[in-house]
Amino acid sequence: MMLKRILCGALAIGLMAAMALPGVAADGSKKSEEGFKQMFDGKTLDGWEAYTNSGELVPLEKSAWSVKDGEIYCNGEKTDYWIILPGGKYGDMTLRFEFKVTDHSNSGAFFKCPAHDLPAFKGYEVQIQDDHGNAPDLHVTGSIYDVLCPMRNMSKPKGEWNEMEVINKGTRVKVKLNGFKVIDADLGQLTEPIGKFDFPYSELPEKGYIGFQNHGRELWFRNVRMKVAE
């Protein structure tokens, strides 16, 4: 518990300094999209795959995921646990997407998950949920779930679109939520097990799958694009 408080406090101090500098609140209209690839065509989920928590492949037509009004829609039925992006395993990258929640929505963006099963215990997870106005903690939107809390909870009210950017290079992770940098940390410094993990974060894999969690509630995604690091 003490380690978690230290992590939250240290991060807050660093980010307050950063947010005092010009340019921390990004202007979305000027953000470069050079090198980014659209992962969702707005029409189909071709190339995407849904899996149960035990790693069993679920046909998309039987999963909780579908395309509705040009958006990726999760109906919240517990037919699967997560849906992964096309292309197999990825290493360092920048992931940008928009999401929208409703009452009690709960999800997450996973990356560098080494296998199709148990992504919440084997890879990185940036939290997504219906928590506008809640104080920052280890489970609020934008947190590295159960490991690191964001400087601020910048999530918008339910029904409004949020924009998230996750930048990962090695063990360093930056998270921007609605134009504000809320996390910037080298998780390779975590050399002991923390939170729900029974191994150090510094030992997480260099490559893995990327996907979104179905935690039994409705939510929506759109404009999913990614840039692989050179």
* Signed CA dihedral, 111, 115, 116, 121: sign only: negative
Fold of 2-228: Jelly Rolls (2.60.120)
Q: What is the pLDDT of residue 230?
A: 79
Q: What is the pLDDT of residue 15?
A: 45
Q: What is the pLDDT of residue 9?
A: 47
Which residues make Cβ contacts (< 8 Å) with residue 61, sequence separation at least 6? none
Which residues make Cβ contacts (< 8 Å) with residue 124, sequence separation at least 6? 110, 111, 112, 113, 144, 168, 173, 187, 204
User: Cα–Cα distance between 48 and 88 in angstroms, integer?
Assistant: 10
Residue ranges covered by each domain of the chain: 2-228
Phi, psi of 220 (to 5 degrees): -135, 150
Q: What is the pLDDT of residue 7?
A: 54
Answer whether 0.85 is exceeded by the pTM.
yes
CA atoms within 13 A on the CB side of 116: 15
User: Cα–Cα distance between 185 and 152 in angstroms, integer?
Assistant: 15
* Token pair recorded at residue 33: 């999209």
Q: What is the pLDDT of residue 151?
A: 97
Q: What is the pLDDT of residue 182?
A: 99
pLDDT beneath 50, residues of the chain: 1-6, 9-10, 12-29
